[in-house]
Amino acid sequence: MRPRKLVKCFLGLGSILVCVVLLGGSKLLFAQTSSGKVQGTVTDPTHAALFDVIITVTNSETGFSRQVESDEYGRFTIGELPPGIYTINAKGEGLKTNEAPRVKLAAAESRTVELVMQMAAERISPLLARPRSLTMAELARTKTDGVSAVEVTDYVYGNYKGPLVPSPPHADLNPRKAYVIFWKDFPYRFVFSHEASYCPWFELMSGAAMCYQFFEGNTGWAELMNQWGRKESSSFVSIIESGPNRVWVRWTYFAVNIVRGQRALRGTEDFWAYPNGLIVRRQMYETLLPGDYRGYSREPIELIGMCPVGKLWFDVLQKDPSTGENHALAVLDVFSEKRYDVYWKHKPNTLLDSTHRRTGCERQDLENSPGVLMADTMVDGSPFCVFGDASGFRHAYTKLKDHTFVAEIWGSKSWDHWPIGWANSQGHEVDADSLKLYPNGFSTLGMDFFALPDQDEERGAYYSLIGVAGHDLEPARAAARRWLEKGEREIANNPDSGADLPGTFTGDKSAGREIPGLNECGMVSRTKKGEAISARLGVTGTAVGEPVRKEAH
């Protein structure tokens, strides 16, 4: 992110024009009239385009005036101007007040000007302050040269329209607060949402999403998702580096007792995101009750699928129309061609019941591998996670837990309210009524430190590579192998260990529209305005625009 763009985030409302460069005129006829026009561009001193700047031209003799706004490329045109001498004035947020020299316009003449606008006086240095928060509407117009992170004020997942204050139980401060990582070249985004205690997820174009779990305690002793955990003081996010060459976001949380609010552990998770669409995640935790390890999580990584309001797992997972099966899960050995696939088939006239089918190698073959890639193959992309011996998840003490319906002791659940209030539903299954009101979640696979003592688990640092692939998972497997082959020292000591990997997303960037209703859940089709360059928000660039997203309800 270039500092000169950040400055504009901290300025007041002003209006100005520092210099006007007359580039020339031409005597042309416009619609058989003698009217003229003034056209041009608005930029800052670095030549970055400024949009939504109000340009006003006023006839000095008659007082006649016309007004337009500059477009996403900083361009403007004001036509149907009678001959005369005009002043040109520009207003823009955070820009100094000034007035351009007069422009003489003859009959049927076109004049082109360049408006260069300076910034207002600074109250604080932009290099020593964080960027201001945005609305979702502003984020839709915001650009990045690679990857960027911003704070937003009005995010709501999955088309949820119910009250957030109070919600059961309600979050403190702003329940719609979120932190969003977004990319220049990829349509998905990575979201840390206050209402879900900031446990993040990849959100796809369709509105479906994938979360990856955390060091959550069990049995209520050290839960995060309850009325004590869902406080800004118990779970919070900091943007350390906001891009565009790399993003670094830190999530800190305290798992607390569900009844008393007593803190049991402190978790620290770092996320390094790169322009290639990938993220390296580091997970660590420390006990706050030395010697007492009750309820500590054995499963810090789990694939948790997320469904918008009115949708269930069979709506968001890729489906084979010839069999009616959804491809629920794929697990690949990073260092061989072995893979394990699970298919779920929904039973008609039921909300949750399914049959299942497995193909490929034995799960034990994957548990014996020094590296695995696990993914849920959703309609418009396959969110995945990679870990192995070189990233702290040694296969000697790590098991895979298939959560397929009725096939295992735990099995998969479809819990409503999720992630709105997350586990505050206390495990309530989706029913016909809650399906209409709340998002919901389901789980396909997790891992378990089955042979690692608690005191050793607490001392570890655990790295994983996460991203989104297309339906072809081989590019992701190739990237995963390159990452794990770097070894423990490189992964642990180099926060850019994932920066040089090839991108893995090969899906359709406009996918999801074929699923009725899914693209109504916070995302809409691209528009020209959605490709705007927001020079005032500190994440400007000249690349193709991000997908436009509806402003949260």
Tokens 């932009």 belong to 126
Same domain for 108 and 145?
no
Asked whether residue 317 is domain-assigned, the answer is yes
The encoded tokens of residue 405 equal: 């319906």
Lowest mean pLDDT among 203-212, 382-391, 447-456: 447-456
Nearest to 377 by CA among 331, 329, 337, 312: 329
Asked whether residue 162 is domain-assigned, the answer is no
Same domain for 44 and 193?
no
The average pLDDT across 500-516 equals: 66
Same domain for 107 and 141?
no
What's the pLDDT at 240? 94
Q: Which residues contact 470 (CB under 8 A, 6 or more apart)?
A: 381, 382, 504, 505, 506, 507
- Which backbone phi and psi does 136 adopt, to 5 degrees? -65, -35
Pairing of strands 103-105, 84-93: antiparallel
Same domain for 92 and 134?
no
The encoded tokens of residue 416 equal: 């409503």
Same domain for 285 and 338?
yes
Same domain for 34 and 148?
no
Confidence tier at 2 by pLDDT (50, 70, 90) = very low
Domains in the chain, number: 2
What's the pLDDT at 418? 64
Same domain for 483 and 353?
yes
Asked whether residue 331 is domain-assigned, the answer is yes
**pLDDT tens readout for residues 363-382:** 999 999 999 999 999 999 99
Given a cut of 50, whether residue 523 has pLDDT beyond it is: no
pTM of this prediction? 0.73
Lowest mean pLDDT among 7-11, 153-157, 190-194, 430-434: 7-11
Asked whether residue 83 is domain-assigned, the answer is yes
Asked whether residue 169 is domain-assigned, the answer is no
What's the pLDDT at 160? 79
**pLDDT tens readout for residues 47-89:** 777 878 899 999 989 999 999 999 878 899 999 999 999 999 8
Amino acid occupying residue 267: G
CA distances from 302 to 32, 199, 385 (A): 69, 12, 9
Same domain for 24 and 149?
no
Given a cut of 60, whether residue 271 has pLDDT beyond it is: yes
CA distances from 279 to 386, 497, 508, 544 (A): 11, 10, 20, 21
Cis previous bond, 166, omega within 30 = yes
What is the separation, in whole angstroms, between the first and last Cα of the chain?
Answer: 30
Same domain for 134 and 249?
yes
Print the domain residue range for 51. Answer: 10-116
| CATH number for position 73 | 2.60.130.10
Same domain for 317 and 192?
yes
Lowest mean pLDDT among 7-11, 39-43, 142-146, 205-209: 7-11
The average pLDDT across 214-222 equals: 74
The DSSP annotation for 94-140 comes to TB----PPPEEE-TTEEEEEEEE-PBPPPSS-GGGSPPPPB-HHHHH
Asked whether residue 520 is domain-assigned, the answer is yes
The average pLDDT across 116-120 equals: 78
Asked whether residue 463 is domain-assigned, the answer is yes
Given a cut of 80, whether residue 168 has pLDDT beyond it is: no
Confidence tier at 128 by pLDDT (50, 70, 90) = low
The rounded distance, in Å, linking the Cα atoms of 546 and 186 is 8
The DSSP annotation for 485-552 comes to TTHHHHHHH-TTTTTTSPP---S-TTTTTTSTTGGGSS-----SGGG---TTTT---SSPPPPP-PPP
Asked whether residue 536 is domain-assigned, the answer is no
Same domain for 70 and 148?
no
What's the pLDDT at 164? 65
The DSSP annotation for 250-301 comes to EEEEEEE-TTT--EEEEEEEEEEE-TTS-EEEEEEEEESSTT--TT--S-S-
